[in-house]
Amino acid sequence: MTGPTRVVLGVSGGIAAYKACELLRRFTESGHDVTVVPTAAALQFVGAPTWAALSGKPVTSEVWGSVHEVRHVRIGQTADLVVVAPATADLLAKAAHGLADDLLTNTLLTARCPVVFAPAMHTEMWEHPATQDNVATLRRRGALVIAPAEGRLTGTDSGTGRLPEPAEIFELARDVLSRGAAADLLDLAGRHVVVSAGGTREYLDPVRFLGNRSSGLQGYALARAAVARGAEVTVVAANVSLPTPAGVKVVRVETTGQLRDAVLAAATGADAVVMAAAPADYRPQSTSTSKIKKAADGSAPPVVQLEQTPDILAEISRDRARPGSVVVGFAAETGDETGSVLDHARTKLARKGCDLLVVNDVSGGKVFGEADNEAVVLDSGGGATEVPRGSKSTLAHVIWDHVVARFETG
């Protein structure tokens, strides 16, 4: 593709319209050519001068402006991506039924590029059967309708229906654009996937714990990539402080035992489970209910007795909650005198019984907390795919490519 990516930002009439200003700025500052197409109701919340100033283009909701340019057709025809944020219940209904009474709904009918809807409305409106039917219709036709977030709505109300954070909608949009003209952009549509992320903590006392350096970045990249490919995504996050990816349900845990329970519960309806979290291998046999004090007389410190934690990956690989489900593990390895990184990883793949194992060489602390990653993806059939250093999003899509291939071969 030559020149800047052409993005249409549709804005419908909800209070969350003000958040679309930040989304617009993120698109323009990253070099995208953005055309804002608001509805008349959206202009009641944020005026046309604001959209024009931020986009550098004239803005209208009417089909009658610049008629000689046939804008009601051309905008959609020439777009590389359409993002509607917020997408109200009214806008989703119009899009599902093919209505075209303003510039945005005309644009949606003429667009042949990926279309992303980011719904925002009150919980009752989102959960209403009419809205759910409209969402199902749009998804069936190939649109990506992400799930709204949970949180504060207008007034004193809280619940499901909040617009995901603009930064996360932007990251999702970039993920969709990165796949370009892939044959099947939504190859995980209709699938439920579970991703674990972060590192567990095993407490010695109320203050101290045994833990590791996992940040959750790779797990969250996997979750974002799965949403971009149409999946329903549940993330079990162990001590992760990152923003929640758009369209993702997050279950927060601390310990390995809690991680196990949450993963097993989520896996009952999952087509794939990707264990990107780093659970502790050991935990203290007992936990002090009060802070362990340093001895004033300098005597020997207390001895901490350890015991092994549950092997979650081996358990979910052995006891598949759903026949035909795909289980993916991660292995952070270092080589030693007994073998190389891949030697240890192949042994682990056989021992764990998972379908795929993503192997990271973490010698010297590599990978943890970094934006980039490199890995080797081993499969239980003996194959190995080297993924050179690149973004964690790139690795995430390679992993999902392997999972999709497993679905296709049964």
The residues annotated with a catalytic role in the active site are: 212
Distances (CA, A) of 392 to 166, 246, 292, 403: 20, 17, 39, 17
Tokens coding 355: 């379908």
Tokens coding 232: 């329903």
What does residue 77 show for φ and ψ, rounded to 5 degrees? -60, -35
* Pairwise CA distance, residues 290 & 402, whole Å: 47
Task: Check: CB of residue 126 under 8 Å from CB of residue 161.
Answer: yes
Residue the block writes with tokens 């042994």: 347
Q: Going by C-beta distance under 8 Å and a sequence separation of 6 or more, which residues neighbour residue 364?
A: none
Task: Check: CB of residue 138 under 8 Å from CB of residue 99.
Answer: no
Helix (H) or strand (E) holding 330: strand 326-333
**What 3-state class would DSSP assign to 113?**
coil
Distances (CA, A) of 209 to 174, 285, 293, 312: 37, 13, 14, 20
Q: What is the 3-state secondary structure (H, E, C) of 164-191?
A: CCHHHHHHHHHHHHHCCCCCCCCCCCCC
How many Cβ atoms are within 10 Å of 394's Cβ, its own excluded? 18
Number of helices (H) and strands (E) in the chain: give both, helices first. Answer: 13, 19
Q: Going by C-beta distance under 8 Å and a sequence separation of 6 or more, which residues neighbour residue 255?
A: 200, 201, 202, 203, 283
